[in-house]
């Protein structure tokens, strides 16, 4: 099973992906997580990506496509992948089709988690993330991670100004993928403005 999760930043892709990983044993690939790790470790990729990320802009397609081409060939992807945060442009989507075709593992479904932009701005300004394990929580959860006890922090790009820019970038560059996947008859759209358990029930039904 190869799944693309589509949706605006903060729509809940990471939360749903985490459940799919623990319940379906799929391999989760989040380009955002890979890039944040690269920035933290000050790799060549991280140095190139940081400015774009801090501004809420997209990292250039060539960098992302090279990164994914390498990642998708790792042995842990054989049972299936959940792609979270990739593709984000039509160029990336076309490149992904090429990579999956080469591997003989076509995409099964593109799930859109649909949430109103104003709901997103509120969600992201109270979102927190665990420095140690990457778990996602909210301001209300307090200072330590429920899963591992690590420190919860606010991502640099989760401030209101950057969030608004990320939403604009999403509208302009990423939302055309909704029609792209609809055209391939792979799109399933789910109302993401509900309790995560209800959203997950629909995600499972889409598989």
Contacting residue, 53, 115, 129, 190, with ligand ADP by CB under 6 A: 53
Q: Binding of ligand ADP at residue 134 (CB under 6 A)?
A: no
Q: Binding of Zn ion at residue 145 (CB under 5 A)?
A: yes
- Active site (annotated) includes residue 131: no
- In the numeric block, the tokens 């799944």 are attached to 3
Question: Omega into 87 within 30° of 0, i.e. cis?
Answer: yes
Contacting residue, 150, 186, 189, 207, with Zn ion by CB under 5 A: 150
- In the numeric block, the tokens 């892709």 are attached to 13
Q: Is 183 exposed, middle or buried (0-12, 13-18, 19+ CB in 10 A)?
A: exposed
Q: Binding of Zn ion at residue 130 (CB under 5 A)?
A: yes
- In the numeric block, the tokens 């190139």 are attached to 48
Handedness of CA 114, 174, 183, 108 (dihedral sign): negative
Q: Binding of ligand ADP at residue 83 (CB under 6 A)?
A: no
- Active site (annotated) includes residue 71: no
- Active site (annotated) includes residue 128: no
- In the numeric block, the tokens 């394990």 are attached to 133
Contacting residue, 38, 50, 86, 93, with ligand ADP by CB under 6 A: 86
Question: Which positions lie near ligand ADP, rule CB under 6 A?
Answer: 9-10, 31-32, 35, 52-53, 56-59, 64, 85-86, 88, 92, 157, 166
Task: Tell me which residues are annotated as active site.
Answer: 13, 88, 127, 155, 166
């Amino acid at each position: 099973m190869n799944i693309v999760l589509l949706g605006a930043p903060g729509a809940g892709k990471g939360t749903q992906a985490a459940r799919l990983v623990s319940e379906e044993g799929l391999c989760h690939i989040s380009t955002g997580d890979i890039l944040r790790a690269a920035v933290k470790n000050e790799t060549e990729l991280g140095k190139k990506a940081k400015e774009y990320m801090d501004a809420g802009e997209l990292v250039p397609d060539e960098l992302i496509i090279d990164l994914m081409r390498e990642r998708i060939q790792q042995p842990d992807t054989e049972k299936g992948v959940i792609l979270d945060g990739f593709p984000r442009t039509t160029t990336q989507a076309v490149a992904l089709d090429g990579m999956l075709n080469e591997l003989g593992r076509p995409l099964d479904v593109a799930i859109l988690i649909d949430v109103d932009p104003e709901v997103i701005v509120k969600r992201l300004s109270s979102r927190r993330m665990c420095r140690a394990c990457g778990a996602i929580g909210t301001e209300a959860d307090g200072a330590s991670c429920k899963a591992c006890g690590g420190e919860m922090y606010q991502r640099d790009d989760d401030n209101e100004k950057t969030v608004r820019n990320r939403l604009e970038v999403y509208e302009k560059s990423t939302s055309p993928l909704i029609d792209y996947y609809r055209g391939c008859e792979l799109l399933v759209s789910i109302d993401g403005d509900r309790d995560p358990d209800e959203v997950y029930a629909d995600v499972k039904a889409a598989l």
